[in-house]
Structure 1
Amino acid sequence: MFQIKTILCPVDFSDASKKALRYAREFASGMGASLMLVNVVEPRPMAVDISLNYVPLEEDLEKAANDDLEGVLKELRNAGLKAEGEVRIGNPSDVILDCVADMDINLVIMGSHGKKGISRLLMGSVAETIVRRASCPVLIVKVDEKEFIGDQ
């Protein structure tokens, strides 16, 4: 029988990833599986800011993401779930696929904004890439922006 032992849930703290995390939490709880959360900080090209405004670098973004991730992990552990997490720097699709390969992941649960048309063409779709290339099942949790209007 196929058993799900480890669920990967990429999180970027967007509405879509928060919704996916709720699904991952329920799946992990119901199946007795461990949760692995990953947040990916994308490298930013160096640019000169003429206005001299401070632009956070990867290290600052990584620290902020680690702080946010620790809060989520604490909440999951307090609910009795086995949960780990880490922040990595890189291309989100590549990092997520590396996690699937390196961590014996049985299921990926991730959010999708459901962009269509030109915005998807220009930005690409991390979810689509993971569905096409992952070696395990992938559950895509779509978000409807109307769902979160009252959450703010």
Structure 2
Amino acid sequence: MFKIKTILCPVDFSDVSKKAVRYAQEFALGMGASLMLLNVVEPRPMAVDISLNYVPLEEDLEKAATEDLELLLGELRAAGIKADGLVRIGNPADIILERLNELDVNLIIMGSHGKKGLSRLLMGSVAETIVRRAGCPVLIVKDDEKEFIGEA
């Protein structure tokens, strides 16, 4: 019998990402699996800002993401889930795929923003790349879902 031991849930703190965390929480509880949250901070091209407005660097974004991740992890642990988290800098799809073997992941649960048209063509779809290249099952939580199953 196939046993789910480790669930990877990439998070970007969007609404659909938080919805994916709720799905991952339910799966982890039901299967007795551990849950690994992963946030990837995308590198930003360096540009000169002549207005002298402060633009957060990757390190600042990484620190903020770590703080947000700790809040989510606290909620999951309070619900009795063995949960941990990582924040990395890089290309989201590449980092997610690199972590699969390292963390011995059996299932990925992630959100999809449902980009279409030019936006998808220019930026690509992280979820689509993961579905195509992951060596384990992937559950995609869609942005257009109106309500989480089981919510009142």
- Tell whether 2:18 aligns with 1:22: no
Aligned residue number for residue 2 of structure 1: 2
Q: Give the Cα separation in 1 of the matches to 2:91 and 2:119.
A: 18
- Tell whether 2:111 aligns with 1:104: no
Higher helix content, 1 or 2 = 1
Question: Which structure 1 residue ranges, 4+ long, deviate > 4 Å from structure 2?
Answer: none
Aligned residue number for residue 93 of structure 1: 93
Aligned residue number for residue 61 of structure 1: 61
Aligned residue number for residue 150 of structure 2: none
Aligned-pair CA distance for 1:145: 7.6
Q: Give the Cα separation in 2 of the matches to 1:97 and 1:104.
A: 11
Q: Give the Cα separation in 1 of the matches to 2:93 and 2:16.
A: 16
What is the TM-score with the length of structure 2 in the denominator? 0.94
Q: Give the Cα separation in 2 of the matches to 1:86 and 1:30.
A: 23
Aligned-pair CA distance for 1:59: 0.6
Q: Give the Cα separation in 1 of the matches to 2:104 and 2:20.
A: 20
- Residues 52-103 of structure 1: per-residue CA shift (max 9 Å, x gap): 0000001100000000000000110011000000100000000000111211
- 1:18 match: secondary structure: helix
Aligned-pair CA distance for 1:26: 0.3
Aligned residue number for residue 150 of structure 1: none
Q: Give the Cα separation in 1 of the matches to 2:101 and 2:51.
A: 43
- 1:44 match: secondary structure: coil
Aligned-pair CA distance for 1:146: 6.2
Alignment RMSD, CA only? 1.1
What is the TM-score with the length of structure 1 in the denominator? 0.94
Aligned-pair CA distance for 1:104: 0.3
- Residues 118-152 of structure 1: per-residue CA shift (max 9 Å, x gap): 221111000000000001000001012866xxxxx
Aligned residue number for residue 74 of structure 2: 74
Aligned-pair CA distance for 1:5: 0.2
Aligned residue number for residue 129 of structure 1: 129
Q: Where does structure 1 lack aligned partners over 5 or more consecutive residues?
A: 148-152
Q: Closer, same or farther in 2 for the Cα pair 1:145/1:135, shift >3 Å? A: closer
Instruction: Report how many residues are paired.
Output: 147
- 1:2 match: secondary structure: coil
Counting aligned pairs with the same residue, the percent is 81
Q: Give the Cα separation in 2 of the matches to 1:101 and 1:114.
A: 27
Q: Give the Cα separation in 2 of the matches to 1:119 and 1:62.
A: 25
Q: Give the Cα separation in 2 of the matches to 1:145 and 1:50.
A: 42
Q: Give the Cα separation in 2 of the matches to 1:108 and 1:30.
A: 15
